[in-house]
Amino acid sequence: MSYLFPTYTKKEIQLTQGKGSYVYSQDGTCYQDFMSGIAVTNLGHGHPAIVQALHKQADLLWHGSNLFHYEIQEQAAKMLVEKSVCDAVFFCNSGAEANEAAIKLARKASGKSHIITMNQSFHGRTLGSMAATGQEAVHQGYGPMLDSFTYVPFNDSEALELAVQPETAAIMIEVVQGEGGVHILSEQFASTIMKLKKEKNLLVIIDEIQTGIGRTGTFFAYEHYQLDPDVITVAKGLGNGFPVGAMLGKSNLIEHFQAGAHGSTFGGNPLAMAVVKAVLETMSQPQFLQEIKDKADRFNDTLRQELLACASVKDIRGSGFLIGIETTVLAQEVIDACEKKGLLLLPAGKHVTRLLPSLLIEEQEWNEAVSILKAALN
């Protein structure tokens, strides 16, 4: 008997510890973690600089509300701004909240309410972010949905152009659809988005909640394209496991989020900010992202060499360390077989197994994982 609402199908594993690319269960079993807490622990478990930053802040001040200034909050915001094309940050506690802020800001700044998102997108579970999500299954039972979203097929430029109305405020998109099956934005679609932004004066909101914070080998995934977002949302890897989210916006949007326009009691509290700062400092070390990118390229090469020939493998695709293996067999079967051998993986739809290792994974660690995957796929 559990005292929890059964909103998640839980594995028969009780996790008690984590270190680097590995997690350990109560019975002492060691698992290689290719889930990273659903794309969260990008820097692995128990990263010393992050643990130390949290301990240090825990001794000083946990919370004081957003009615006060905190140097650490300004520092974290400055670091995020410097890594992006945006100018200001709103801190919150999760991905859905960051998207909620983005939807509200887009409506307020444009005076319009219509937002175009993609089929199979995933933006969160709150009423606004759920309505933005282009998946019927996520909406089921919660109607009526917030009615100002139109969903178009991902990478379909013609459909996107046709969906724009005089009431359209924004286009909201993931650069790689993570939950939706690991689908990668095409260059052509990216340029259509930018064309519409200019011609129709639309805001471009990029949901980097799964793709951001180094996951694809650049700090933000939009950097792989000629994209110029007005709003960027992040969470997951931003706190490496500490609950935190953020919405970044360009300078012309700042006047629309004045005092009282939006808020969050916990958003950007000193504990979260200490962690965010440590994550960003770690990622700002010289060559850090270049090394991640090179490593991810080598990992992808190994995956292709070892797994493309397996009869059940249809496709291997992804960006950096966000990778999907599409199979003729059910992803859950692949995942269950790998779990028995000590490798934890995620699905992304029925036939796609998602690989989300720590960005700091070593070659010999991924070789272990690839041989488990190969045996399962064969």
The residue from 21, 57, 168, 210 that contacts ligand PLP (CB under 6 A) is 210
Q: Is 33 in the site for ligand PLP (CB under 6 A)?
A: no
- Residue whose pair of structure tokens reads 């493309």 in the numeric block: 308
The residue from 101, 138, 184, 209 that contacts ligand PLP (CB under 6 A) is 209
Q: Is 179 in the site for ligand PLP (CB under 6 A)?
A: yes
Closest approach, Cβ 305 to ligand PLP, in A, equals: 29
Q: Is 134 in the site for ligand PLP (CB under 6 A)?
A: no
Return the HEC string of 234-283: ECHHHCECECCEEEEECHHHHHHCCCCCCCCCCCCCHHHHHHHHHHHHHH
The residue from 37, 44, 95, 324 that contacts ligand PLP (CB under 6 A) is 95
* Spatial contact of 260 and 67, defined as CB atoms under 8 Å apart: no
Task: Report the 10 Å Cβ neighbour count for 210.
Answer: 28
Q: Is 96 in the site for ligand PLP (CB under 6 A)?
A: yes
* Spatial contact of 220 and 236, defined as CB atoms under 8 Å apart: no
Closest approach, Cβ 301 to ligand PLP, in A, equals: 26
Judged by beta carbon, residue 103 or residue 338, the one nearer ligand PLP is: 103
Distance, CA of 150 to CA of 171 (rounded, Å) = 10
192 CB-side CA count, 13 A: 18
Residue range at the interface with ligand PLP (CB under 6 A); choices 74-82, 107-115, 135-143, 205-213: 205-213
The residue from 33, 100, 207, 326 that contacts ligand PLP (CB under 6 A) is 207
Binding string, residues 101-130; x marks residues near ligand PLP by CB under 6 A:
---------------------xxx------
Q: Is 94 in the site for ligand PLP (CB under 6 A)?
A: yes
Residue range at the interface with ligand PLP (CB under 6 A); choices 148-156, 171-179, 334-342, 348-356: 171-179
Binding string, residues 219-258; x marks residues near ligand PLP by CB under 6 A:
----------------x-----------------------
The residue from 33, 100, 174, 326 that contacts ligand PLP (CB under 6 A) is 174
* Spatial contact of 76 and 269, defined as CB atoms under 8 Å apart: no
**6-25 binders of ligand PLP (CB under 6 A):** none
Separate counts of helices (H) and strands (E) for the chain: 12, 17
Residue nearest ligand PLP by beta-carbon distance: 95
Q: How far is CA 72 from CA 212, 213, 244, 280, 336, in A?
A: 21, 19, 14, 12, 43
Q: Is 100 in the site for ligand PLP (CB under 6 A)?
A: no
Closest approach, Cβ 224 to ligand PLP, in A, equals: 16
Amino acid type, 346: L
Distance, CA of 303 to CA of 54 (rounded, Å) = 36
Residue range at the interface with ligand PLP (CB under 6 A); choices 17-25, 206-214, 265-273, 369-377: 206-214
Instruction: Report how far apart the first and last C-alpha atoms of the chain are (Å, whole number).
Output: 38
Judged by beta carbon, residue 93 or residue 370, the one nearer ligand PLP is: 93
Q: Is 217 in the site for ligand PLP (CB under 6 A)?
A: no
Distance, CA of 341 to CA of 338 (rounded, Å) = 5
Exposure string (b/e) for 183-204, b if CB count within 10 Å is 16 or more? bbbeeebbebbbebbeeeebbb
**Residue 224 carries which DSSP code?**
G
- Which tokens hold the place of 146? 């917030």
Task: Report the 10 Å Cβ neighbour count for 299.
Answer: 22
How many residues sit in the footprint of ligand PLP (CB under 6 A)?
Answer: 15
Closest approach, Cβ 209 to ligand PLP, in A, equals: 4
Residues that bind ligand PLP (CB under 6 A): 38, 94-96, 99, 122-124, 174, 178-179, 207, 209-210, 235
